[in-house]
Amino acid sequence: MQQENCSNSSQLNDALPVYKASSAVLAICFVLGVPGNLSVLVILVRRLKENSFTLRMMLSLAMSDLLTLLPMPMWIWSLLHDWIFGFVACKIISYVEYCCIYSSMLCVTFLSLQRYLQVLHPQKWAKLGTRGKNGLLCGIWILSGMFASYAPVQRDVGCDQHGFQYCYQHFRNKTEQVATSLFEILLFLTCFFLLVYFYYCLYRGVNESPFFSSNRMTKLVTRIVLAFFIFGVPVTIANILIVVAALLENEMLSVTADLGGKISTALLFLNSCVNPFLYTFSLRQLQRQSTVTETLGPTLQNGA
């Protein structure tokens, strides 16, 4: 289908600035995030012989972020022109991206759980053993694949409501749209509150120890939580607006929410650029913290 068969000039004039802004953000994500995550992968692969679960979790996170960012040129082209890559590519790329975004989200959440157990409850963490830890990693990818299963079903190539031929999310009815948005809202809120809870317990346990206090760790945890919140909240707000627009059957609000969703999704990809700096480049500090706190394990557990 050609663009001239889709275009509505008034809608295109309204939507084009948002599409250009989204494509600019995606371009920044690609230019910064791909080299950053590739560097992280090289560093982590060289250190895999250390047999550290933290390293394997960060490797999984870097792979998720890299796979999320690699299709960016295709999305940028489709935002500025049309989707020319076909129906099958639309579904496959959408599934891979959703799967990797959910995997990244779960990796970040499980890292907070892992740090909490390893530092404050090292004996419980040790009981998991190698099989249990590998099971956690496999579970993250299996859950991510399950969570993303709706993506290829809902993806279609055609004219979106702004007049572009696009690989877009097509809902059969309002119920499906509301259910999808509510699922994404619930998943983000669950991961965010778990992240905050485990890092808060870790922070409290470490800093209540009379032997050790780490301002660096406090700053690192604050940055992790803020990054997760800042990049995840716009998408959640857009989903809330989509639900409200669908329930009220407000077409104008629906168009606004859709445009806001495109920008917030582009911002979400920035998180894949920030993750290497927050986690891998802070790995030395986390490992130093782990060594000290594990030495003080019994004291910390009493303090917690």
Q: How far apart are CA 234 and CA 263, in angstroms?
A: 9
Q: CA dihedral in degrees (38, 42, 47, 53; nearest 10)?
A: 20
Burial class, 32, CB count within 10 angstroms (exposed 0-12 / middle 13-18 / buried 19+): middle
Residue 296: give its domain's CATH number: 1.20.1070.10
Cβ-count burial 265-302 (b if 16+ within 10 Å, e if not): bbbbbbbbbbbbebbbebbeebeebbebbeebeebbbe
pLDDT at res. 292? 46
Among 148, 177, 185, residue whose Cα is nearest residue 161: 177
Whether the Cβ atoms of residue 157 and residue 165 lie closer than 8 Å to each other: yes
pLDDT at res. 182? 93
Q: Which amino acid is at 155?
A: R
Q: Domain count for the chain, please give it.
A: 1
In DSSP terms, which residues pair with 169 in a beta bridge?
155
Q: How far apart are CA 175 and CA 234, in angstroms?
A: 22
pLDDT at res. 148? 94
pLDDT at res. 79? 80
Whether the Cβ atoms of residue 23 and residue 76 lie closer than 8 Å to each other: yes
Q: Which two tokens stand for residue 77?
A: 């082209």
Which residue range(s) make up the domain with 94? Answer: 3-303
Whether the Cβ atoms of residue 76 and residue 27 lie closer than 8 Å to each other: yes
Beta strands per DSSP E along 75-203: 155-159, 165-169
Beta strands per DSSP E along the chain: 155-159, 165-169
How many helices (H) and strands (E) in the chain? 12, 2
pLDDT at res. 295? 46
Whether the predicted model's global pTM rises above the 0.95 cut: no
pLDDT at res. 130? 81
pLDDT at res. 212? 47
pLDDT at res. 294? 45
Question: Residue 176 to residues 95, 170, 181: CA-CA distances in angstroms?
Answer: 18, 10, 9
Q: Is 173 helix (H, G, I), strand (E, B) or coil?
A: coil
**Which segments of the chain have a pLDDT < 50?**
1-4, 9-14, 211-213, 290-304
pLDDT at res. 102? 93
